[in-house]
Amino acid sequence: MATSPDDRVIAWFREQLAKVAEPSRDPAGVRVTDNLREDLGVDSLAFIELMVDFEEAFGLRLDEGDLLGERYCTVGDLVSHMTGYLAQACEVVED
């Protein structure tokens, strides 16, 4: 069964955020309702590194504003925005 782009993005962020969370945790323990800073302890440098890794993993080039952690409060906010970004990038490639 093929996974949707949404599932791939969620799984990728869960895996990566579990590694950078303070303290680190199992990916299954990363919830979409978790606050990036308060619950996971993701600081601005870790966030930028995470987003650069996302660009590389998904073959995207994000706008500079998308690299600012202040734009996103929760894991869900981040996943929603990046899933939309990925869908938009796929539309451009298909045109």
Comparing C-alpha atoms, which of 30, 48, 51, 28 is closest to residue 39? 30
Comparing C-alpha atoms, which of 2, 16, 7 is closest to residue 46? 16
Identify the active-site residue in 43, 53, 66, 77. Answer: 43
Is 6 a residue of the active site? no
Instruction: Give the residue numbers annotated as catalytic, written as ranges.
Output: 43
